[in-house]
Structure 1
Amino acid sequence: MTSSAAAASPASDRSHLIFGLSIAILGAVLFSTKAVVAKLLYRYHIDAITLIAFRMLFSVPCFAAIAVWKMRTEAPLSWHDRWKLIFLGLIGYYLSSLLDFLGLQYISVGLERLILFLTPTFVLLMTSVWLKRHISRAQWLALLLSYCGIVLVFVHDLAGGQGSTVTGSLMVLGSAISYALYLLLTGEMVQRIGTLRLVSYAMTVSSVACIAQFFLLRPASLLIQPAPVYWLSLVNGVLCTILPVFMTMAAVQRIGAATASQAGMIGPVSTLFLGALLLGEPITAVQIAGTCLVLAGIYMLSLTRK
């Protein structure tokens, strides 16, 4: 009986790990797919402000429902936490998403995903500057590898004449820095109020800001679009926003943040191939080499921070 239970335990642990990894990988792929969906939406001549408003219109009901549920079932937040959550929602999802979609008008989805994948390195640099934490040699090497990979792909796209590569790259870089600041500032709060509560509140704030921005800057008549815009926006809001958020949370609960983040490294690779399959963006040896350097750097960084 005991030997049978002992034999079943490793098998159960293995299936638990495989299930957690599967969720993390699928979440990373779905989240990365938003760049491809955005490129498809731009073919219908809508701008970034309209695109992000449609994305939030389809995703906000879910996040708002969870936020209301949490408000009714848990202790109310202090005014300090409320104002902080509003700020985090504005920089973490509103500003970050806006800059990301603006940048996608000018650069390839492969380069966009690689730049966004540098977010952990920005978090490390911010903690070094503001919290005075020491950066080890291994971490410096990881940073160097990652940034060399980005430079390689950036120079490749610049030479290929892919639109205003510099402008688009700077916008996406701003998106990554904005989200890194969000992650840095949520560290203490997520321990107190929980991930689900924090994400639902922050996403609701972001959604309200994105939708309000649309009505302030664009005529309401732009809500009337061809049917494919609605379908693609539904995919963007549900498959590329809501599902990845909850999948990542579920994966972290099952296999831990470190393992889940390593599984998320599939994101840039999936974007590269999805861009080629759905958008006709070429995959070159330089892009693959740059992607490998970035992934190697992020993998090394995750090992040093375990």
Structure 2
Amino acid sequence: MSQSGIAAPALDHPAAPSVAGLVFALLAAVGFSFKAIFVKLSYRYGVDAETLLALRMAYSLPVFAVMGWRARATAANGKAPLSRRDYLQLAALGVFGYYLASYLDFLGLDHISAGLERVILFIYPTIVVVLSALFLGKPITRRTGVALVLCYTGVSVAVVHDFKAVSDSGAVMLGSLLVFGSAVSYALYLMGNGQVVGRLGTSRVSAGGSIVAGVLAIGQFFVLRPIGHLDQPLVVHLYALAMGILCLVLPVWCLAEAIRRIGAGPVALVGSFGPIITLAAGAVLLNEPLGLAQLAGAALVIGGVTVMARAKR
């Protein structure tokens, strides 16, 4: 979602940009990791996935609309206006990267723990590699193969842990498949994201995709649910607001700032703590069981993604 780059350090405070970049990367990781926690807390009040997703997008949509307006004004001074092809590509990115990935994730979280959800979602780089090999003819190296084995072994360990922790194993399987579908949708988004971001810029792509997703999520709500479902307890609206601002808008901005200041590699390294953050928060705030199996599964997934990232470099 962001172009990588390293900002030049200030002359009088040479370490400041690096420290700030690491802080932004950590804030992004925490923000993204807490989304599942807020979803699970909201489900305790009986809200359904369609209503919660619509509320989340409704609260974040005005911010992204302002971002899009500012990006359009800035682009008017230096970039060509969007063509019909650009609008179609932005719409496709919004469908796969922001709407469908979020919707499947919300549905999955109704069946599995927040910790397992984060572990499964974190394998999206491996899905990009597999899809690229299947459809773009990009070879899978031996090192990448090792990374794939590590990641999917880790997911298997985490899923088995949840099978043993609950009585309804069918729900765990369904939730895991839904979240895996979310990861596939996000991987498809990433495959088409690079070229579009390079041509249109991060702000226009992020804002445009989010606006498309917001319209779809809100439209879906009015098709599937009566308007009375918006009458939720205040705490549900507060959780939705937190998901929209603290777990979407701010992490997107922090991620872009972190990559600009310290580059994509260190940002990815900090982001690898995401599953651990979610596992810990789920244990403390949701009373989810946290065992060695889940920690081992998360460690294997993180290790596999790290090996894959080093192989790409």
Q: Please state which band the TM-score falls in when normalised by the shorter chain.
A: over 0.9
Matches within 5 A, 1:1-306: 12-74=13-75, 75-161=80-166, 163=168, 164-306=171-313
Q: Could you list the runs of 4 or more consecutive aligned residues of structure 1 that deviate by over 4 angstroms after TM superposition?
A: 8-13
Q: Aligned AA for 1:268?
A: P
Secondary structure at 1:114 match in 2: helix
Contact 2:89 2:196 in 1 (8 A): no
- Which runs of no fewer than 5 residues in structure 2 stay unpaired? 1-8
Q: As a proportion of its length, which structure holds more helix?
A: 1
Q: For this pair of structures, how many residues does the alignment match?
A: 299
When structure 1 is superposed on structure 2, of 105-114 and 124-133 the one drifting more is 124-133
Q: Aligned AA for 1:158?
A: F
Supply the distance in 1 between the matched residues of 2:132 and 2:192 (Cα, whole angstroms): 10
Cα deviations across residues 157-199 of structure 1 (Å, max 9, x unaligned)?
1122264100000000000000000000111111111111101
Cα pair distance change 1:272/1:219, threshold 3 Å: same
Q: Structure 1 residue 14: deviation in Å?
A: 3.6
Q: Structure 1 residue 10: deviation in Å?
A: 10
Contact 1:86 1:202 in 2 (8 A): yes
Q: CA RMSD in A?
A: 1.5
Contact 1:106 1:162 in 2 (8 A): no
Q: Aligned AA for 1:291?
A: A
Supply the distance in 2 between the matched residues of 1:115 and 1:288 (Cα, whole angstroms): 13
Q: Structure 1 residue 70: deviation in Å?
A: 2.4
Q: Structure 1 residue 73: deviation in Å?
A: 3.5
Supply the distance in 2 between the matched residues of 1:61 and 1:104 (Cα, whole angstroms): 26
Supply the distance in 2 between the matched residues of 1:224 and 1:9 (Cα, whole angstroms): 50
Cα pair distance change 1:253/1:162, threshold 3 Å: farther
Supply the distance in 2 between the matched residues of 1:17 and 1:300 (Cα, whole angstroms): 24
Contact 1:32 1:113 in 2 (8 A): yes
Secondary structure at 1:283 match in 2: coil
- Which runs of no fewer than 5 residues in structure 1 stay unpaired? 1-7
Q: Structure 1 residue 205: deviation in Å?
A: 0.4
Q: Structure 1 residue 72: deviation in Å?
A: 3.4
Cα deviations across residues 110-150 of structure 1 (Å, max 9, x unaligned)?
11001100011111111222221122111111111111000
Supply the distance in 2 between the matched residues of 1:233 and 1:162 (Cα, whole angstroms): 29
Contact 1:262 1:302 in 2 (8 A): no
Supply the distance in 2 between the matched residues of 1:305 and 1:150 (Cα, whole angstroms): 22
Supply the distance in 1 between the matched residues of 2:167 and 2:211 (Cα, whole angstroms): 35
Contact 2:165 2:289 in 1 (8 A): no
Identity across the alignment (%): 43
Contact 2:153 2:300 in 1 (8 A): yes
Q: Which residue of 1 aligns with 2:3?
A: none
Cα pair distance change 1:10/1:296, threshold 3 Å: farther
With structure 1 as the length reference, what TM-score do the two structures score? 0.94
When structure 1 is superposed on structure 2, of 266-275 and 154-163 the one drifting more is 154-163
Cα deviations across residues 224-273 of structure 1 (Å, max 9, x unaligned)?
11111111111111101111010001111111122211210111000000
With structure 2 as the length reference, what TM-score do the two structures score? 0.92
